[in-house]
Amino acid sequence: MRTTKSNLLSILFLFILLFPVSAQSSKPSVTEDYRPVVVEMVERGDRAMKSYSPETAVKTGNEFSRIYFDVFESSGMEFTLGLKDKSLMEKIEFGFSQAINLSMEGKEKSVVNKVWNELKKDLYLTVERYPSDKKSTGFWGMVLQSFLILAREGAEAMLVVAALVAYLRRSGFSDKIYVIWQGVIWAVVASVVTAWLLTQAFHVSGESREAFEGITMLLAAAVLIYVSYWLFSKRDAEKWQAFIHKEMNKAISRGSLFALGLVAFLAVFREGAETILFYQALIASATGELMAVWTGMGLAVLGLALIYFLVRLASIRLPLKYFFSFTAVLLFVMAFIFTGKGLLELQVSGWISTTSLNGWPQASWLGLFPTLETLFGQLLVLVLVPLGWLYVRRSRKTSAVQV
């Protein structure tokens, strides 16, 4: 218990120590007044659609791309809207990916125009929902925004980290838990460095940043799937305790322990740099309310610590087989979500195409977006469930024969 508290406090201290270096190293452009930004985007988009034809498809697609990266993103609207309503921000992001890709593909003007009209409704909705004439957010309003940033972005990562730590503890490898915390610490450091590079060192273009985030999410999904199957294959540890203990030692020597550390690293790093950039935007707009930002951050850290200890408590009370199965399923669900969101980022960056599926639902919290590419990628992840189950079952039979 003392070691766990020490690890959590060390990571918190490291974050507080390194965060100001990144947050104060640049003053990102932010805006709380969405109206002029929306007006500019709508005017440019309407002009692009007025002159659109299959012959000017690439030109129109490039214009929609510039509207997204040079106006929506560069103005700081993406950041501040993400602080207040991430679901709406992701819906607008998805709308732009559709407009960009449909234009580039030279689709019929009526098809592109329908997508653009839906996107305009969402842009106008931001002005209606968050008018600029509102009074200052106030101390507790700023506390809430700060709390939501870290709590929202860190909850998934903390669930993964807590599950991995609990798994090693229940498996009798408490002395190996340090690898998980090393992955977390390195992820915090890497997040700060990445955020600084993205804003200061070489001002990476919006397209490259979105692609970088997408690749990171897909890599995290791949490692999560691997570790999920690895954990599931060990769920009968009570039944074959001696055999599993022997195999765990072999697995660790083969590098599976490194895979666990890598999962912890990617789970934190996936949102780490973006979280810091969100806080940069919040601090830039927190005139005279900096203490509120730190208060919200501290409350979020306490909330994440509570999640960690609840997962640990559950791991102690649940039977070993069910806990291992729960851990494997949790990581697999995370992989499913990361796959959808990662592919969406690559669509926004223009790395892959966007084939819209009209009438299909969107649930960004599950990584579900109505495009053929994102759903196909997630379908592949789901197909791995029966394949993985068959592989684990076959491996189990082989192991039983050898024993």
8 Å CB contact between 342 and 334: no
The structure tokens 């579900």 sit at 368
pLDDT of residue 401: 47
**What is the DSSP track for 239-301?**
TTHHHHHHHHHHHHHTTHHHHHHHHHHHHHHHHHHHHHHHHHHHHHH-TT-HHHHHHHHHHHH
Which DSSP category does 365 fall into?
G
Interval 273-299: pLDDT, tens = 777 767 776 776 666 677 888 888 889
| pLDDT tier at 21, thresholds 50, 70, 90 | very low
Mean pLDDT of 32-57: 89
CA distance 25 to 190: 16
Mean pLDDT of 177-184: 86
| pLDDT tier at 190, thresholds 50, 70, 90 | confident
Interval 109-146: pLDDT, tens = 998 999 999 999 999 999 888 876 544 567 777 788 78
**What is the DSSP track for 16-56?**
HHHHHHHHTS------S-HHHHHHHHHHHHHHHHHT--GGG
Those residues with Cβ within 8 angstroms of residue 27's Cβ, 6 or more apart along the chain or in another chain: 280, 284
Handedness of CA 88, 344, 280, 155 (dihedral sign): positive
| pLDDT tier at 47, thresholds 50, 70, 90 | very high
Candidate ranges 65-79, 109-123, 197-211, 240-254; pick with highest mean pLDDT: 109-123
- Rg of the chain's alpha carbons, rounded to an integer? 23
pLDDT of residue 26: 45
Measured in residues, the chain has a length of: 403
Domain ranges of the chain: 34-129, 141-402
Q: Residue 40 pLDDT > 90, yes or no?
A: yes
| pLDDT tier at 23, thresholds 50, 70, 90 | very low
CA distance 271 to 156: 10
